[in-house]
Structures are given as C-alpha cells and as structure tokens.
Structure 1
Amino acid sequence: MSSASVVVPPRGSPSVSRAVAILNLIAQRPGGWSLTQIASSLGLAKSSALTILTSLEAAGMVTRTEHFYDLDIGVLTPAGGFLRGSDSITQFKRQIVASELLSGELAHLAVLAGREVTYIARHVGREPLPVTAGVGDRFPASITAVGVALLAQLTDDQIVDLYGDLERFPRWSARSTADLPHLLSKLRETREAGYSVDDGETYPSVFAYGLIVHRVGNHAQDFSMSVSLLRDDLTPKRQAQALEELMGVRDALEAGNDLR
C-alpha cells in the first residue's frame, strides 16, 4: 500500500521527468488510467501526456486498452537488472532471519527517489499493519525511518532545494514531520546519532529505527534499512537490542559477510 503523491521532479530533462512521473502514477493504481486522468493528476497538457504515453507504449513500458493505460511487462526489465546486480537483497533477508529479535519483526530495505523512498525488500516476521510497505511501494521520505536516514546524508542546502517548494508536507499521523524546519532539525539529530527514528510518524503505534547501508555489491546508490517495533511492546532493553541487531546486519552487509 502506498499513499505517496506523484510529482514531476523540478530538475533534469523535463521529458524524462514527466515520463517517470507518469509511470509512477500508473503504478499507484493498477487497473487503468485515462489520458485525462493522467494529464490532470500531473498538471500536464493532454497533448504532452499523449506524446509521452505513445513513446512509453512503443517501448513496452505501458499498454493501452481502449481509453485506458496500464503498466506493461517492459517495466520489469530495468528492475530485473537492478536486482540481479547484487545479492544484497538475499543477504539482507538471510541476515534478518538469523537475528534473534529482528526475525520476528517487520524489516525493510529501501532507496531514495526524490522526496520518496522506494522499498526494494521486506521481511515480515509478524502480522503487517495496514500501512506496511510492500516491494515497489513508495512512501514519503520525510516521515519514514528509511527515508530520514537517507535524507540525512544530504546537506541542509540540498534539503532546502528538495523541499523548499513543498507547501504541505505529507502527514500520516499527528506525529508526522510537518514542515521544513522540523525536518532539518530531525536530520541534524539523525546525523549526530548515526541512525534515524520514526516515532509514530507513519503509524501511531509503531516505533522504527533506520540505518544507512553504504554502497554494497555493484550498486552506486546507498540503501537504507529499518525495523518496525510495536510501541505497546517497547521497552528500553528491546529498543537497544533492536538497534544493536540492525547495526550488526548493516555491518555484515557492508562487509559482505553472512551472519550465520
């Protein structure tokens, strides 16, 4: 499940940015989007949206059924190449399972995509929550443990460039980071601590830690991983153990070792 909004990135090639935004929009709701819906949702002229959709259809990225567009099998080609580029996902899952506490919790691996994170792996050690991310889902980076860990690698100036034009921050609970000053403050705390915290920002009953996994395999981009704990079961001892085990998984991934 993903409630993240799709926006056209403000920099880079406009045509490429719009094509990516269209693919991300269609991915949010399988079953078909009309040309009018796509153009309206992204603030594009229908003629511009049609030109991009025609190119995406020719490339096998989208398919058209009468008046509706949906994703086509071609979108799996670059994703498959990414996943084949490293065994990091397999190692992540194996190491989470081998961890005493983490194996019974929810754990995720994600990458940064603008103001959102894209989840590329997950471990479900207990019943998932209604807002638990699945592989391929995109959540707001500003309110997730994985997202804040990744954003903390950017400078304050880069964060201002990324979020300065955002009039309203996505808020999924009363605890969600509401504006740029609060985000900047949270990122400074994350840099000092060496890990990020989601204290009920995505779901009121959940506490999560996030950690960076620096470039592993032949990936050029850093990952971030998190563990989500139920606040009702939270104790200082349990928190400390979760963070310690998550750091152990991070260290093993970066070293290319297996925890078994």
Structure 2
Amino acid sequence: MSNVPAATRTLRVLRYLASQADPVPIESIMRACELPRSTTYHLVNAMIDEGFVVHLPEERRYGLGVSAFEVGSGFSRQAPLQRIARRPLAQLVDRAGQSAHLAVLHGRDVLYVLEERAPGRPHLVTDVGVRLPAHLTASGRAIMASLPPSQVRALYPDRAAFTDRTGSGPQSPTALRAVLTETRRRGFAVEDGEVTPGLRSVAVPVVDHNGHPVAGIAVTYPAADPAPPADLVAWCARQVSQRLGARRTD
C-alpha cells in the first residue's frame, strides 16, 4: 500500500464513505481501504479541512461533507453519462430501427435520463425524467441482476415494496429473484407488456470501472415486430461502459 499514490488512497476513502448508509468509525475506513491507522487519520483530517469529510465526535464516526455533495451536484449538472451515451445510443437506434433509452436506478424506480426515438415507431412512456418501477422494466432488471443480492433484498424486502401497472410482472421477493436469476443466465433482461401492453423491451447493464452497474440501456419495440438482437444492445452497453473506464470484454 505504501506505493499507492495519496490521491488514490483519498479517492478510495471517498468511495467507501459514499457507499455507506451512515457515518462510520475510523476502524471501518482502515479495514475497507486497507490503510494503516496513521495514514487513515492523516487522509481523513486533510479531507475534513477541505470539507469532503465531516467528523461526528459524539459518535466517533466520519461521514461525507458538503464538498462531496458539491461534487455530486456538479456531476448532475454536467450530465456526463448522458453525453457519453448519446452517440452510441443513436447508433443503436439506427441499427435496430427501434427506439432506445438509458435509465439509472433511483431507489425502487428507474429514472430515464436519455432517449433516442426511431422514426415511425410508437410513442413510449420513457421520456426523459419519467420514473417507472424498476422490477417491471427491462432496464431495471438488467441493473438489479448485476447488483449484490443483499442490495436487491434491501430494496424489495416484502410484497409491500412491489407496485403494479398492467397486472403482470413479479409481485414478491421470490418472484423477483426468479426473474433476476433468469436474466443473469440469459445475459440480458426482457420485459413483455409489463409497462405498456403491446410493447416489449430488451436491456443490458452499463458498468463502470469497478464493474458496478450504473445504468441500463434498452430497446423497446412492438410485440408484433421481430425482437432486436440482444447482441446489438450489448454492443451499445459495452461502448458506454468502456467510455466510463470499464475493461474491454471483446
């Protein structure tokens, strides 16, 4: 660890704190980031001085500071994910001849942040800014199939967590697990009329440099049309993933 640049250590601490639901003791930071005690205190104190970390002395815990929030807000303003994905998504639409969209997971919903419409195709409900139940959408299933099972269980602990749109789709944790298991086996997610009757979707996750799913790319098409090749959707997802720093897989 002594050869790891200080900047890399700092980013590891920030990433770890961002992944926690609550502030954590210094010992947790040490273990998770594999840092010596003295180094951890040095980094954390420097980050406190810059506003990226806040110390809660009564609780003996550390959490993210206001400067970390400002960085996150800057990310939202600049919309880099949408910028990165726009061209590959347009190419996907040209090749598939169907509309496509990019969605991110937000709680138990997916939030649509980018859409490319194919000429002459049906109007979709997936306009930018629209939220839909993640467990009913191909994009949401693609993302959740790549998440740790414990995270999915936290999102969907019981039947009360499930909503319905068309009377179909998983309505229990057991049914959702079966859908996600089949999604992983197949290598892509599908949805058939569970959001809008008569429309189907196929989706693949976009992953970052850690292999963590950050979004889903889906093509939606009329049930009467041939299904677009899943390999084509996977190609688009790989293009965006690689632009985010993911390792090449082809």
1:157 is aligned to: 150
The letter of the residue matching 2:216 is S
The letter of the residue matching 1:251 is R
Alignment of 1:1-260 (within 5 A): 12=21, 81-82=75-76, 84=78, 86=80, 88-99=81-92, 100-102=94-96, 104-126=97-119, 132-167=125-160, 169-215=162-208, 222-234=214-226, 238-240=227-229, 243-256=230-243
Conservation of the 8 A alpha-carbon contact between 2:109 and 2:132: yes
Structure 2 gap ranges (5+): 1-19, 23-70, 245-250
Displacement after TM superposition at 1:141 (Å): 0.4
Greater CA radius of gyration, 1 or 2?
2
* 1:153–1:126 distance in 2 versus 1, CA, 3 Å: same
* 1:92–1:176 distance in 2 versus 1, CA, 3 Å: same
Normalised TM-score (structure 2): 0.61
Partner SS state of residue 150, structure 2: helix
The letter of the residue matching 2:198 is S
Aligned partners of 1:256 and 1:157: how far apart in 2?
Answer: 28
Query: Comparing both chains, which one has the higher relative contact order based on Cα–Cα distances under 8 Å and sequence gaps of 6 or more?
Result: 1
- State which drifts further: 122-131 or 193-202: 122-131
Conservation of the 8 A alpha-carbon contact between 1:117 and 1:141: yes
* 1:223–1:251 distance in 2 versus 1, CA, 3 Å: same
The letter of the residue matching 1:252 is Q
Aligned partners of 2:132 and 2:207: how far apart in 1?
Answer: 21
Displacement after TM superposition at 1:81 (Å): 3.1
Displacement after TM superposition at 1:118 (Å): 1.2
* 1:108–1:79 distance in 2 versus 1, CA, 3 Å: farther
The letter of the residue matching 1:95 is P
* 1:85–1:203 distance in 2 versus 1, CA, 3 Å: closer
Identity of aligned residues (%): 25
Normalised TM-score (structure 1): 0.59
Aligned partners of 2:218 and 2:84: how far apart in 1?
Answer: 15
Conservation of the 8 A alpha-carbon contact between 2:147 and 2:213: no
Q: Residues 25-62 of structure 1: CA distance to partner in whole angstroms, max 9, x if unpaired? A: xxxxxxxxxxxxxxxxxxxxxxxxxxxxxxxxxxxxxx
Aligned partners of 1:254 and 1:187: how far apart in 2?
Answer: 21
Displacement after TM superposition at 1:117 (Å): 1.1
Aligned partners of 1:101 and 1:188: how far apart in 2?
Answer: 29
* 1:133–1:210 distance in 2 versus 1, CA, 3 Å: same
